[in-house]
Structure 1
């Protein structure tokens, strides 16, 4: 049995829990960053930092001031309940209170765990960079719904595992109800199928995901990197004081 098939069947068999524990083993290195308070940095005329999005060379999607003195990276998985929790309880405050000032930038990078995760990630990334963060947030909020739909369509998921590479993720998306779900949020069915059929791009995304995780020794999600240092903390109540200590206050 291939690794892809084995992971996929495990995804199908297990309910998608929405717990707070990190999805995978924890981090080992604390941030230990401190600094003086940093004054707000004005956005360019006619813009707000919350609307400034760019795809980074590392494959992430950075929100906010590209030159922010405090750079926060989150490694996240779309089938990770702890990531869904941070998306709901931490990310909105982070964006409103800190990214908006230009002092903190917030970049999401994908750590792909399984075929459903890959499928959601590809669809969230499909199209303009500005659409990524809103789509990703909404997808985390609907994680339980996707899991239920996938579990109800086990036969189609089983077929997807044996399908050609350019059809496999289209079939996973159909099994989880993702093509219709994303269409309701502005991603056309034609766009979705084109992105999901691009097996070369999907392979490159998987390789980039693993390479970036290896650089920072990321073994679980969410994992946060603050100015190049990996943090132990993975939820907002513990993360916010670290940002403040680093100067975001």
Structure 2
């Protein structure tokens, strides 16, 4: 099963909501403190061009692997969590770690929570990204259902701390309105280029592949390796 993407208009509304939210934490007076950059990001969210070249691809596996697999996934998508708990572990062990598959992970943003999770994961850097990735999926039920937005961000920060990030680094990453806007533009570019309509979605050597059991992925890879 897959989770269906929103329209471009829906994505824009969620992006605006995300910027508007980063209206926490509260100051000593109890009034909301808007994160620096959020207002500017909102105002420029509909700019004609956004330079997405600054967004780094998150990759596992040998650069010269004979097969390239791209996954499009959302941190709030339960089907994506199931894939990472099951088939992905076997794919990594038998194909990625053995140099047969180069794996590229690309985030999809259904909602502001997924965007915030992505910003935390990327804040950890490329060396720790996939470790945070695993934590976000394995604890998805906990942080997604934490309650109010401020509570969800609190849970995401806990995951960031587990990855070795301090509070200052986490605040800086979450306050980066330019980065949030660029990530959303990057996601929209990728989704359009690969005709991604839901998550998890996969592209293997340029061809769209549906979410499926490990045995089916394995058969597909073995067929390609035998060509």
Report which stretch shifted further, 199-208 or 185-194: 185-194
CA displacement 1:44-82 (0-9 Å, x = unmatched) = xxxxxxxxxxxx977431101111110011001000001
Distance 1:229 1:184, change over 3 A: same
Distance 1:178 1:85, change over 3 A: same
Alignment partners' CA distance in 1, 2:117 and 2:226: 32
Secondary structure at 2:102's aligned position in 1? strand
1:188 matches 2:166: yes
CA displacement 1:154-179 (0-9 Å, x = unmatched) = xxx3xx7xxxxxxxxxx8613xx211
Distance 1:234 1:210, change over 3 A: farther
Report which stretch shifted further, 93-102 or 205-214: 93-102
Instruction: Determine the structure 2 residue equivalent to 1:144.
Output: 141
Distance 1:136 1:94, change over 3 A: same
Instruction: Determine the structure 1 residue equivalent to 2:153.
Output: 173
In the TM superposition, 1:192-211 aligns within 5 A as 192-211=170-189
Secondary structure at 1:246's aligned position in 2? helix
Unaligned stretches of 5+ residues in structure 2: 1-11, 19-52
| Equivalent pair of 2:131/2:163 in contact (CA under 8 Å) | no
Unaligned stretches of 5+ residues in structure 1: 9-55, 161-170
Paired positions, count: 182
CA displacement 1:13-65 (0-9 Å, x = unmatched) = xxxxxxxxxxxxxxxxxxxxxxxxxxxxxxxxxxxxxxxxxxx9774311011
| Equivalent pair of 1:63/1:107 in contact (CA under 8 Å) | yes
| Equivalent pair of 1:223/1:234 in contact (CA under 8 Å) | no
Which of 63, 86, 89 is the matching residue for 1:89? 86
Under a length normalisation based on structure 1, what TM-score does the superposition of the two structures give? Answer: 0.67
1:228 matches 2:209: no
In the TM superposition, 1:89-128 aligns within 5 A as 89-128=86-125
